[in-house]
A and B are shown apart, each in its own frame.
Chain A
């Protein structure tokens, strides 16, 4: 079965700094999703990537899917306290399989 490994597990950055979170799959990805979760709450959809080499941006968050479609990175530019939370990557390895999620990366942004 497919497994997703996220790194780092947790991250503390100073406000204004850039950061990157990685998500590596044990299998080729059919689709890769990034979600953000505030502690104990539901997940907020950030982006979905499907094509190898694809890159999407929303506000100060950019996500990329590598050419081989086995790794994705999420990059936050000029981090703000509002970026704090748990970032989860989720993936499908075919069109009819449910999402598999990584364990998450806990991001703290300090002033």
Chain B
């Protein structure tokens, strides 16, 4: 089985722009979660989608949004980029939503905001 894929792997944007990141989960997985990783804050939860519905949302401003498609692929969007949005964005997929499900992580998208 192919693993979790994320595109693009690297991205450079300027302040004020918007960006869309994509995540394709492992085949058969219906849950996709997104995380932001920075040196200062570590790994922080953004949101989780299951069967096209957002199940959980982390403590991030409304500039961060996401969606999931019927094939379980997910996108996250960040509008009006700020310098502090520079980070590694990771997505993870699991078969089911809820607790005690192993999450498989993608390689991440490294976003640099100039």
Q: Which of B45, B99, B108 is close to A31, meaning CB atoms less than 8 Å apart?
A: B99
Chain A: minimal CB distance from B16 (Å): 26
Bound complex: CA of A31 vs CA of B58, how far in Å?
Answer: 19
- Contact B103 A42, beta carbon cutoff 8 Å: no
- Contact B99 A94, beta carbon cutoff 8 Å: yes
Q: Which of A42, A101, A102 counts the most B-chain CB atoms under 10 A from its CB? A: A42
* Interface assignment of B26: CB less than 8 Å from any CB of chain A: no
B residues in contact with A98, CB < 8 Å: 33, 45, 48, 56, 58
Q: Which of B35, B42, B43 counts the most A-chain CB atoms under 10 A from its CB? A: B43
A residues in contact with B99, CB < 8 Å: 30-31, 92, 94-97
A residues 60-111 touching B (CB-CB < 8 Å): 88, 90, 92, 94-104
Q: From known contacts A42-B4, A42-B108, infer whether A99 and B45 are also in contact, taking CB-CB under 8 Å.
A: yes
Q: From known contacts A42-B107, A42-B108, A43-B90, infer whether A95 and B98 are also in contact, taking CB-CB under 8 Å.
A: yes
A residues in contact with B103, CB < 8 Å: 33, 45, 99
Q: Which of B43, B92, B100, B108 is close to A92, meaning CB atoms less than 8 Å apart?
A: B100
Q: From known contacts A41-B107, A98-B58, A102-B42, infer whether A48 and B100 are also in contact, taking CB-CB under 8 Å.
A: yes
B residues in contact with A88, CB < 8 Å: 43
In the A-B complex, the 7 residue pairs with the closest CB atoms: A95-B99, A42-B105, A101-B43, A43-B105, A103-B42, A98-B45, A42-B107
Residues of A within 8 A of B (CB): 30-31, 33, 35, 40-45, 48, 50, 88, 90, 92, 94-104
Residues of B within 8 A of A (CB): 4, 33, 35, 42-45, 48, 55-56, 58, 88, 90, 92, 98-100, 102-108, 110
